Each structure stands twice: as C-alpha cells, then as structure tokens.
Amino acid sequence: MSFPDLVRSFAPEGQTVSGDQDPVAARLSEALAAAERDPSEFSALYADAVRLVTVVRRLSIEGHTGAVHEPQTTAAGLPKWRLKLVYDYVTMHLGEKVTLADMAAAARLSRMHFAALFLRATGMRPHQYLLQRRIAAAQELLLDANQPIIQIAIQVGFQTQAHFTTVFKKITGVTPAKWRETVLPQSSHSDQFGVHAVVP
C-alpha cells in the first residue's frame, strides 16, 4: 500500500466530520470536499495534503484519549509495530533534526535495511515521509490564524521560512499563506499588526 493510499484509508473521499465532534476536523472536511470538487490542475494534490493533515489530527486526538491506532501492515516491508516506533519517534522529535540513522535506530534496524523496508512498506523514502509529517503538522498549526508562519516553520523543524515555503508548496501545490487563506474564513486572516495577511 502506498502512502497516499494509506492516507485515503483514514480520510476517504466524500467523508465528512461533524463540528460537534471536532471543529478543526470539520473545517478540514469542508476544505477536502471543496478540493474534491475543484477541477484545477493541483486539486488532487491539494486534496491529498488535506487528507494527510486530517490523519495527523485524528491520530493526535486518539493519542489524547488513549486510543491506539497503529499504521497499516503491508505485504512486504516493515511490520506495523516497527512503523509505529518510527511514527512515535518522528512525532516526538518533529521540531528537531531527524536523520535516517535516527529513524532506523527507532525501528531497531540498520540504516540501509530500514531504508529499503520503509520504501517498500510506505511507497516513499524516509526523508520524504519526514517532510510529509512536518508539512502535515504545519497545516494543523496554520489553522491558528494568529501564529506567524516563520514560527510555525521553526516549530516543525525548518530552519528558514523560505525552505519551509518551498517544501510546503512542492507537497501541497500552494504556499502556506495561500493554504491558510483557503482553509480559514477570510475574516480570521490577520498578521501580528491586525492587517489582513498578504499572500506571497
């Protein structure tokens, strides 16, 4: 199963979430529905990005409530308990420098063995997975209109806003500011001086 397929298994097309259950997830659900109706070039990529942050949101809530949601098992590759170890390690160190050696150690494997099995299990290289996780965490933080983008970039492990913006756009198809503008009501967009944010 590829990583995009894994994401869709948590947040399939057409699924909605009640605002009574989780207001943040409800906004993400609305954004996903809009993306799925959008015929533009990057709509599918954008929809997958929204699905990814929805997965992270749900796993975060399950973690707070004590529920355990283990990653899916694949026919060949890392067993689900090793994937869970990697997921937990990345979650704990998302704002720090995380290397291939760190992730391999978390899975209790050598670097080369881990990299090969991880690619087979998820459909992506460990570094790509790490970037996806950083961007998913950033998307959740972007739901707070009062958080400066540079602060979010640092919080999820990027050293500069420029690098963060480049990676974010590569994964989602839009800049962080544009993504925030799309997901949040226009009235909630303001910078630290109370002026409407300008999309770069």
| Cα–Cα dist 10/48, whole Å | 11
Q: What is the pTM of this model?
A: 0.58
What pLDDT does residue 118 have? 92
The one-letter code for the residue type at 186 is Q
| Amino acid occupying residue 106 | A
Express each pLDDT in 147-187 by its tens digit.
999 999 999 999 999 999 999 999 999 999 999 998 887 54
Most confident of 6-20, 56-70, 125-139: 125-139
Domain ranges of the chain: 3-69+129-188, 80-123
pLDDT at 198 over 50: no
Whether the CB-CB separation of 103 and 109 falls below 8 Å is answered with: no
Mean pLDDT score, 109-128: 91
What is the per-residue pLDDT across 92-106, written as a single tens digit (0 to 9) for each?
Answer: 999 999 999 999 999
Fold annotation for 3-69+129-188: Arc Repressor Mutant, subunit A (1.10.10)
